[in-house]
Structure 1
Amino acid sequence: MAPRVLISDKLSDAAVQIFKDKGIDVDFQPDVGKDKEKLAEIIGDYDGLAIRSATKATEKLIEKATNLKVIGRAGIGVDNVDIPAASRKGIIVMNTPFGNSITTAEHAIAMMFAVARQIPQANESTHAGKWEKSKFMGVEITGKTLGIIGAGNIGSIVASRAIGLKMNVVAFDPFLTEERATQIGVKKVELDELFARADFITLHTPLTDKTRNIIDAEAFTKMKDGVRIINCARGGLIVESDLVEALKSGKVAGAALDVFEEEPAKENALFGMDNVVCTPHLGASTSEAQENVALQVAEQMADYLNSGAVTNAINMPSISAEEAPVLKPFVKLAEMLGSFVGQVTDAPIHEVEIIFDGSTAGMNTRALVSAAVSGLMRPQMPEANMVSAPLLAKERGVIISEVRRDKTGIFDGYIMLRVKASDTTRTVAGTVFSDGKPRFIQIKGINIDAEIGQNMVYTTNIDKPGFIGALGTTLGENGVNIANFQLGRKAAGSDAIALLYVDEPVSDAVIEKLTAHPQVIRARALSFDVEA
Structure 2
Amino acid sequence: MTKPKVLISDKMDPNAARIFEERGCDVDVITGKTPEELKAIIGEYDGLAIRSSTKVTAEILDAATNLKVIGRAGIGVDNVDIPAASSKGVVVMNTPFGNSITTAEHAIALMMALARQIPEANARTKAGEWPKSAFMGVEVTGKTLGLIGAGNIGAIVASRALGLKMKVAAYDPFLTPERAIEIGVEKVDLDTLLARADFITLHTPLTDETRNILSRERLQQAKEGVRIINCARGGLIDEAALKDMLESGHVAGAALDVFKEEPAKENPLFDAPNFICTPHLGASTTEAQVNVALQVAEQMSDYLVNGGVTNALNMPSLSAEEAPKLKPYMALAENLGSLIGQLAHGDLDKISIETEGHAAELNQKPIVGAVLAGLMKRYSQSVNMVNAPFMAKERGMEVREIRNEREGTFQTLIRVTVATSQGNRSVAGTLFGNSDPRLVEIFGIGIEADLSGKMLYIVNQDAPGFIGRVGALMGEYDINIGTFHLGRRGNGDEAIILLSVDQEIPQEVIDKACALDGVKVVRALSF
Fold in common (TM above 0.5): yes
1:97-176 to structure 2, matched below 5 A, reads 97-176=96-175
Distance 1:183 1:205 in 2: 19
Q: Show structure 2 runs of 5+ residues with no match.
A: none
Pair 1:381-2:403 in alignment: no
Distance 2:159 2:444 in 1: 54
| Residue-by-residue CA offset, 1:10-64 (whole Å, 9 max, x unaligned) | 12222222222223222222333xx223222222222222211111222222222
Distance 2:224 2:420 in 1: 58
Distance 2:336 2:116 in 1: 63
What amino acid does structure 1 have at the position aligned with 2:389? P
Residue 432 (structure 1) aligns with: 431
Task: Indicate how the Cα distance of structure 1 residues 447 and 123 shifts in structure 2: closer, same or farther if over 3 A, else same.
Answer: same
Residue 406 (structure 2) aligns with: 407
Residue 273 (structure 2) aligns with: 274
Shift of 1:439: 0.7
Residue 18 (structure 1) aligns with: 19
Shift of 1:423: 4.1
Residue 328 (structure 2) aligns with: 329
Shift of 1:509: 2.6
What amino acid does structure 1 have at the position aligned with 2:232? A
Task: Indicate how the Cα distance of structure 1 residues 121 and 481 shifts in structure 2: closer, same or farther if over 3 A, else same.
Answer: same
Distance 2:400 2:197 in 1: 40
Residue 314 (structure 2) aligns with: 315
Once structures 1 and 2 are overlaid, which stretch shifts more, 143-152 or 233-242?
143-152
1:377-526 to structure 2, matched below 5 A, reads 377-434=376-433, 436-526=435-525
Distance 2:496 2:160 in 1: 65
Shift of 1:503: 2.7
Residue 303 (structure 2) aligns with: 304
Percentage of matched positions with identical amino acids: 60
| Residue-by-residue CA offset, 1:181-215 (whole Å, 9 max, x unaligned) | 22222222222222222222111111111111111
Distance 2:487 2:196 in 1: 68
Residue 286 (structure 1) aligns with: 285
- Tell me, what secondary structure is at the counterpart of 2:320? coil
What amino acid does structure 2 have at the position aligned with 1:412? Q
Residue 216 (structure 1) aligns with: 215
Residue 6 (structure 1) aligns with: 7
What amino acid does structure 1 have at the position aligned with 2:64? A
Residue 30 (structure 2) aligns with: 29
Q: Is contact 1:146-1:170 (8 Å) kept?
A: yes
Residue 360 (structure 2) aligns with: 361
Q: Is contact 2:461-2:520 (8 Å) kept?
A: yes
Task: Indicate how the Cα distance of structure 1 residues 195 and 467 shifts in structure 2: closer, same or farther if over 3 A, else same.
Answer: farther
Instruction: Number of aligned residue pairs: give it.
Output: 526
Task: Indicate how the Cα distance of structure 1 residues 463 and 258 shifts in structure 2: closer, same or farther if over 3 A, else same.
Answer: same
Structure 1 vs Structure 2 CA RMSD: 1.9
| Residue-by-residue CA offset, 1:212-252 (whole Å, 9 max, x unaligned) | 11111221232211122111111111111111222222221
Distance 2:434 2:482 in 1: 19
Q: Is contact 1:121-1:274 (8 Å) kept?
A: no
Q: Is contact 1:474-1:514 (8 Å) kept?
A: yes
Distance 2:143 2:520 in 1: 75
Shift of 1:133: 2.5
What amino acid does structure 2 have at the position aligned with 1:2? K
Q: Is contact 2:361-2:405 (8 Å) kept?
A: no
Task: Indicate how the Cα distance of structure 1 residues 174 and 509 shifts in structure 2: closer, same or farther if over 3 A, else same.
Answer: farther
Residue 52 (structure 1) aligns with: 51
TM-score by length of 1: 0.94
TM-score by length of 2: 0.95
Task: Indicate how the Cα distance of structure 1 residues 445 and 171 shifts in structure 2: closer, same or farther if over 3 A, else same.
Answer: farther
| Residue-by-residue CA offset, 1:123-143 (whole Å, 9 max, x unaligned) | 222222323333222222122
Q: Is contact 1:88-1:383 (8 Å) kept?
A: no
What amino acid does structure 1 have at the position aligned with 2:476? E
Distance 1:405 1:111 in 2: 52
- Tell me, what secondary structure is at the counterpart of 2:10? coil
Q: Is contact 2:247-2:273 (8 Å) kept?
A: no
| Residue-by-residue CA offset, 1:443-462 (whole Å, 9 max, x unaligned) | 21222211223111223333
Task: Indicate how the Cα distance of structure 1 residues 490 and 265 shifts in structure 2: closer, same or farther if over 3 A, else same.
Answer: same
| Residue-by-residue CA offset, 1:314-345 (whole Å, 9 max, x unaligned) | 22222212122222122111111110011112
- Tell me, what secondary structure is at the counterpart of 1:271? helix
What amino acid does structure 1 have at the position aligned with 2:317? S
Distance 2:239 2:418 in 1: 49
What amino acid does structure 2 have at the position aligned with 1:79? D
Q: Show structure 1 runs of 5+ residues with no match.
A: none
Q: Is contact 1:463-1:493 (8 Å) kept?
A: yes
- Tell me, what secondary structure is at the counterpart of 1:378? helix
Shift of 1:464: 4.3
- Tell me, what secondary structure is at the counterpart of 1:146? strand
Task: Indicate how the Cα distance of structure 1 residues 508 and 176 shifts in structure 2: closer, same or farther if over 3 A, else same.
Answer: farther
Q: Is contact 1:347-1:423 (8 Å) kept?
A: no
Q: Is contact 1:11-1:30 (8 Å) kept?
A: no
